[in-house]
Amino acid sequence: MRLATRTFLWSILPFAVLLAGSFYAVQNRVLLKVRENLQSSVRQTQESLAIMRSRTEQRDSRVLRVVTQNPALKAGVQLMLGDRSDPQARATVEDQLLEIGGELGFDFLLVSDVTGAPLAAVMFQEGRLKALDLARQQPPRQGYFTSDGRTFQITSVPIDEGSENLGALSVGERFNLSAVPGTAVLMRNGKIVETNAAGLPLAEAESGLRGCGESSECEIRLGGATYVSTLMQGETAAGGYVVRSLESLDAAMGPIQAILRRVFLFAGLGALAAAVLVSGLSSRSIVRPISGVIDRLHESAKTGELPVFDGSKERIQEIRDLTESFNRAAASIRDGQERLLRANVEFIESLASALDARDPYTAGHSRRVSQYALSVAQAMRLSPAQTQEIRIGALLHDIGKIGITDAILQKPDRLTPEEDRVIRQHPSIGRRILESVRGFHPFLDVVELHHENWDGTGYPRGLRAEETPLAARVVKIADAWDAMTSDRPYRQGMSRNQALAVLRKVAGTQMDPAIAEVFCTLWGADRPEVERESDALVRLSAAVGEPAQPLQPQDAQLPVEQRDA
């Protein structure tokens, strides 16, 4: 039986049958009970608000039809329509509104013109009805109006003179949510204006209810509990007011908590027993071999080497197939990497050889510099990546001399200052050549900066000390060594001991002193020069195919001439 089938039968089916049956029954019972409770609560709230509104509208409608026939009120409205700034006309209308409010018990009265612009209004303030400053507040003709922490529910009727409509009379009374069963809130433009729930966290409730938008029903979290909010139908009004109910889902689930606990107790115990049994079997047949593969892959990620798995020891066919497929893929990748690396190295060596071939006196220079630099990097125990950067960078370090004329490169005499300035451009030329070639970016610093000095007197940037990358500092010493120990048309190469003496002399000025010390130690400066068989320079020369001929000292002033480096 295959792994997928065993995993399904031993791990999925027992849990699926057990949990699906118990959870299905529990879910149906929970949802049914919660829906019943919430629907009942919402219906009660809606009925209460509908009754409140119906009673208010019926009462106000009867009274307002009589009030709007008041001749004094009509006369005052007509005067204000003729001249809105007339204080006497405004006082007349306000007096009528105060009288009507005092007799009929309204908390708010407003007269507005046919466009809805308020003309005069009075409101119950400081224990009595007082004229309302319309410059500070603009009450609506219909819906809700909030002022000084109080909310009024407003109803309007027209004021007619014969067939002409003069405006409208609006009256309002306090909107009281305390008469509504359950928890409800009155909101305006996303802000809670009034609520009948004591201790309700208003900021948290506002944030949650704003997320509901215009949805008829949504869930929010308040104080760690889940609430269902329902939009009370018919309660949306002008001015951005809306009434929403808040019912605690946790409280609604209270009656069935005992049922849930009993069902989940038995289901949980059964699932736990099955999980222990199945996990033990699964870990022995699946987890252990897969963990072994994963551990090997983690090691591979650290070392960068693709592992080889012995799939013959695995009892699971799928694991054997996986390891064999991986081994084949890894072998193909390794083969491709080796071919690519060989091709890259051959191409770089061809570039270096083509450059050195321009001058018979510098033939093999780039390869020798690469070998010297590689030996130093290995002695310093640099990482494989840094060692590769130094080795390849050294092969390419003089690539910029392609842009220098043969008249300067092959000149048998010393260079003039003008010619020296030209040849100093070869590091920058080399960088420009290589930076547009994909894959050569790791070697750009070596190509451009291998003539920087430790004390900042080098070129092309004048970098000091460790501002110059390590790879470029290593190649600089290797380049200087080959230049000093090689013959040129205008001078004979130095002996090994003289070259080492010069390196020590310029350590700390032209050369990195630490790398210079490694270089001098590596070449055995304290051994007799006559011991040619053990001489590191002889061995390196033999490795790169160059004859190790004895060199006679010429001078021991500077380690490198600009053209040689």
Residue 19 included in any domain: no
Same-domain check for residues 521 and 486? yes
Domain count, the chain: 4
- Beta sheet of 108-112, edge-to-edge order: 128-131, 118-125, 108-112, 164-174, 150-161, 143-147
CA atoms of 523 and 371, how far apart (whole Å): 13
Tokens matching residue 411: 């000149």
Dist. CA 268–CA 125, nearest whole Å: 63
Q: How many residues does the chain have?
A: 565
Q: Are residues 504 and 363 in the same domain?
A: yes
444-498 tens-digit pLDDT? 999 999 999 999 999 999 999 999 999 999 999 999 998 888 877 667 778 888 8
pLDDT in tens, 488-528: 766 777 888 888 889 899 999 999 999 999 998 887 644 44
Angle at 232 between CA 230 and CA 236, to 5 degrees: 125
pLDDT band, very low/low/confident/very high, at 61 (cuts 50, 70, 90):
low
Q: Tell me: do 393 and 526 sit in the same domain.
A: yes
**What pLDDT, on a 0 to 100 scale, did the predictor assign at position 513?**
93
The pLDDT, as a whole number, for residue 484 is 87
Q: Which pLDDT belongs to residue 329?
A: 80
Asked whether 448 and 474 are in contact (CB, 8 A), the reply is no
Identify the CA nearest to 151 among candidates 205, 89, 107, 114: 107
Closest CA to 192 of 226, 154, 240: 240
Question: Model-level pTM?
Answer: 0.41
* Structural tokens at position 489: 């048309």
Question: Are 341 and 424 part of one and the same domain?
Answer: no
The number of beta carbons lying within 10 Å of the beta carbon of residue 181 is 13
Structure confidence at residue 276 (pLDDT): 61
Q: What average pLDDT does range 297-301 have in this prediction?
A: 69
When comparing pLDDT for 121 and 26, which is higher? 121
Amino acid residing at 326: F
512/393 same-domain check = yes
Domain of residue 121, CATH code:
3.30.450.20
Residue 297: pLDDT above 60?
Answer: yes
Do 206 and 163 lie in one domain? The reply is no
* Tokens 């195919």, residue located: 545
Helices (H), strands (E): how many in the chain? 19, 11
Asked if residue 535 and residue 514 are part of one domain, the reply reads yes
Q: Output the domain CATH number for residue 442.
A: 1.10.3210.10
Exposed, middle or buried, 189 (CB in 10 Å: 0-12/13-18/19+)?
A: exposed
Indicate the range of 78-87, 120-129, 130-139, 352-361 predicted with least confidence: 352-361
3-state per-residue secondary structure call for 52-77: HHHHHHHHHHHHHHHHCCCHHHHHHH
Instruction: Please provide residue 188's backbone torsions phi and psi, each rounded to the nearest 5 degrees.
Output: -135, 115
Q: What pLDDT is recorded for position 558?
A: 40
Range of the domain at 247: 176-252
What the block records as the tokens of 117 is 């612009």
More confident residue, 513 or 562: 513
Which residues pair with residue 192 across a beta bridge? 187
Please state the rounded mean pLDDT for residues 358-387. 84
Q: What is the pLDDT of residues 250-283, one digit of tens each?
A: 776 666 666 767 777 777 677 767 766 665 666 5
Least confident of 2-6, 73-77, 191-195, 430-434: 2-6
Whether residue 539 sits in one domain with residue 417: yes
Query: Is the model more confident about 31 or about 98?
Result: 98
First CA to last CA across the chain, in angstroms? Answer: 71
